A and B are shown apart, each in its own frame.
Chain A
Amino acid sequence: TQLLEQSPQFLSIQEGENLTVYCNSSSVFSSLQWYRQEPGEGPVLLVTVVTGGEVKKLKRLTFQFGDARKDSSLHITAAQPGDTGLYLCAGSRSNDYKLSFGAGTTVTVRA
């Protein structure tokens, strides 16, 4: 059972469109991270959010941490084919050394 639920599971959009990926849990996290993973590679860290309500922007990517620190979203503006990949959210809880991952959202951006 995944502690973090991601939705949607799959997303296919045309280049230039916007998309949002959601990551939800009933647990409170001290921090939440978003990764992107390419086939045959390990996850690459995109961002870490630690404060409830925090919003971080990374070029065309906007990340938000929920006020209660139980959920997060990733929004991509004007998606490009290079944004294609598996997007994973992962949370850390107090007094817990592990990262708990969601099952991931597979994003495909068609040229």
Chain B
Amino acid sequence: DAGVTQSPTHLIKTRGQQVTLRCSPKSGHDTVSWYQQALGQGPQFIFQYYEEEERQRGNFPDRFSGHQFPNYSSELNVNALLLGDSALYLCASSLAGIGYTFGSGTRLTVV
């Protein structure tokens, strides 16, 4: 039973570029949440997707956007990258918001 799969595992981008991160949820899960974890910090909630809609959003600018597909997989898009966007981006899936399983994350470095 595959857990949460995230791709790519590592990514280096230049300031001002755009990036797309991908997440496949655990089998049977229908809800996907995205978190940003800066070095030495706990994860910060970006947004949650359920039934292909953004259900809740954290305190992140509009440069951060997402999408959920009919198969429950999800993408996180970040536009106009800043150095401060460098972080580990985590995807967590759950069934109706209960029992979160986290992926291993995508390490984004902005140079």
Contacts and interface: CB of A to CB of B under 8 A. Distances in A.
A100 B45 contact: yes
Contacts of B14: none
A42 B40 contact: no
Contacts, number: 58
A105 to B, nearest CB: 10
B102 interface: yes
Interface string A61-99: 000000000000000000000000000101000001111
Interface residues of A, number: 23
A106 to B, nearest CB: 9
B76 interface: no
Contacts of A98: 33, 45, 48, 56, 58
Given A42-B90, A43-B102, A97 B42 contact: no
A68 B93 CA distance: 29
What DSSP secondary structure best describes chain B's contact surface? strand
Contact of A97 (B43, B48, B102, B104): B48
Given A43-B90, A90-B43, 10 more contacts: A40-B104, A42-B4, A42-B102, A42-B103, A88-B43, A96-B56, A99-B35, A99-B100, A101-B42, A101-B43
Interface of A: 2, 4, 6, 33, 35, 40-45, 48, 88, 90, 96-104
Interface of B: 4, 33, 35, 40-45, 48, 55-56, 58, 90, 92, 97, 99-105, 107
